[in-house]
Amino acid sequence: KQEVTQIPAALSVPEGENLVLNCSFTDSAIYNLQWFRQDPGKGLTSLLLIQSSQREQTSGRLNASLDKSSGRSTLYIAASQPGDSATYLCAVGQTDSWGKLQFGAGTQVVVTP
């Protein structure tokens, strides 16, 4: 059974610092991994999708890497801003499913001015 873990559970950094968020998964039979942002009491906003054949994906200040064989993904957010404060979730799509996503518990990020 797939288990998705995100470490740390919470993170506080001063504005301008780079953020590094980790996601690990136990079953490498995935076809993609997706990173989301969730603001308190709100929905999930998709940030990046990495297909299993890719090693990296970039969007603006965001960069996500994927090492499928070791079951790890890392989300880097460069030059953090207070507006980056949110919970970041990773989710993996299993090869034996119809697009079902298995979520981690998230990393709660606070960027202080």
Partner 1 sequence: EPEVTQTPSHQVTQMGQEVILRCVPISNHLYFYWYRQILGQKVEFLVSFYNNEISEKSEIFDDQFSVERPDGSNFTLKIRSTKLEDSAMYFCASKQGTLVNTEAFFGQGTRLTVV
Q: Which residues bind partner 1 (CB under 8 A)?
A: 31-32, 34, 36, 41-46, 49, 51-52, 89, 91, 93, 97-106
The single-letter DSSP state of residue 40 is T
Residue number, 64 or 80, with CB nearest to partner 1: 64
Give the DSSP H or E segment for 30: strand 30-38
Report, in Å, the least distance between residue 89 CB and partner 1: 7
- Using a 10 angstrom Cβ sphere, with 0-12 exposed, 13-18 middle and 19 or more buried, the burial of residue 98 is exposed
Report, in Å, the least distance between residue 63 CB and partner 1: 17
